[in-house]
Structure 1
Amino acid sequence: MITVFQVSIDDASQQHPDYEFVTALTPSAQKAAFHVKRNDDDFCLKIIAPTQSLERVQREVLAMQTLNHPNVARVVEYEYSARGGKTRHYLVEEFVAGSDLSHYLAAHGKLSLQQIKDIFVPLCGGLNALAENNIVHRDLKPSNVRVDNTGKPVIIDFGLARLLDMESLTATVEGAMLGTPKYFAPEQLRGTKRDIDPRTDLYALGVILYEAAVGKHPSLTDSPKTFDELDEAICTSEDFKSDPDYLGLDPTLKLVLQRLLEKERGRRPTSAAMVGTILNGLGGQQ
């Protein structure tokens, strides 16, 4: 069972008096998050759990500071300090007002072709920017994509990001298995860090796109109860190809999904930019 790291908003406010704390955001095992303000500007302040590897957090910061893209959240401030026996370890990011993509999909149901273009074409732009900077997100999922009040998607939370040109910082098995299993690519479930590259994120993109277009996961109907069940669903099953809801999709969209969800990395598209270009050519409303 995963233990969530929690900090009360009162304690957080005392630790960071330079910020006005608006509300607590959804915490995780890695960090407690808050919507904060400073000089009328909005930010997301994350207090890092003491259990987290300093190297891994600094890798997240390095990954995000190399990027300047409208569909990737930017880092504003980072500090790790120790004084008088107390440590301060926190990260301040751009705050993306709006909702998670998971909430957006729940509210809109199956997306039309135009809605898919509006969300996934710019999302592909953000993923392409990551790949161009040799970064693999490794935990792309709807809750790590914010949809702002204009409908623009922004990729957030790079806690598991891997820089392909950095020396590895984690053990092989751990490095492969980090992430959210529901959106794992086969090489992420079975492989090693050497098998992780930008096409791993493209597989996760395919799962999210399938959920947006069809309204369900391509291979999981219930939460798998054993590793073997999870392995079968992610690494072997292609039952989605016979699903009537999938078969009724636009032919181009079906082809994109089929390629993104290929079990072998080498059969997936070579870049998110290519996927975005194809999606941008989809027709009008369904």
Structure 2
Amino acid sequence: MKKPTQLTPAQAFDALYAFCAPALVRQTYLLCGRRELARESVERAFQLAWQRWPEVAVDRDPASWVRAAAHEYALSPWHRFRPRFRHPEPPPADAADRALLAVLLALPPSQRRTLLLYDGVGLDLPETAAETEASTPATAHRLLHARETLAASLPQLADPAALHERLAELASVERLRPARPATVRAGGEARARFWTRAAIAFTVTIIGATALTVRTAPTRYDPPVPSGRTVQGVPPEAAPGTLSKKQTALRKKLRSNPANGPQRLAPQPR
């Protein structure tokens, strides 16, 4: 009896991609309402899965792991600031499809995602709560509110079975094709290399800036010299003036004396 051939990581990834990506792109389109963003979200989710393949390969449900990553990326609020997503996309051609998609996109993101997972994908309530990282009561509350809002605008979809069928039909209308798995893997590897190099460059920059700071920073504290100011009230220094007649005569007398001084200061020989 032959042992089953063990798949390589690339083969296992390609098999998961071929199984999940086509349907996931259409589901994500119902979540965000943009075809290009749906493709991008699925590609980013699978690129992240390829970067973390040792973790994803042993996950209990790899398809759920990738779906959660794609939904979180598609619902990220920063997409509204991207220039390419500032203008609305052409709606579906059918009027019923346009009405259903408009009601879906009018729901809060958390309710829209819960409704899509439960009534569209077919998950049960605990699985939906786990994938959306919410409690089961909170998930049930979101689902009920989403159904009430949808039924108020489209009464014919108040039945969960009819809603499930219409969501599947709306998703299948758009012919959205994902990229090839090899292209997604190559893009994920290139993205990982880019961020690795960016992290290395940032670390080297920080180390260089720290070394320069340590080398050029002062090692002691020199208090600042206060600015000078004029001192008032100090008398000016007296300068020597001219000698009087009496002082001039005394100076001449002292200079003419042999001992340069009065006689009483010169020793007398005995």
Which category of TM-score, normalised to the shorter sequence, fits these structures? Answer: under 0.3
Structure with the larger helix share = 2
- The structure whose Rg is larger is 2
Structure with the larger strand share = 1
TM superposition score normalised by structure 1: 0.21
Per chain length, whose mean CA-contact separation is higher, i.e. which structure has more relative contact order (CA < 8 Å, sep 6+)? 2
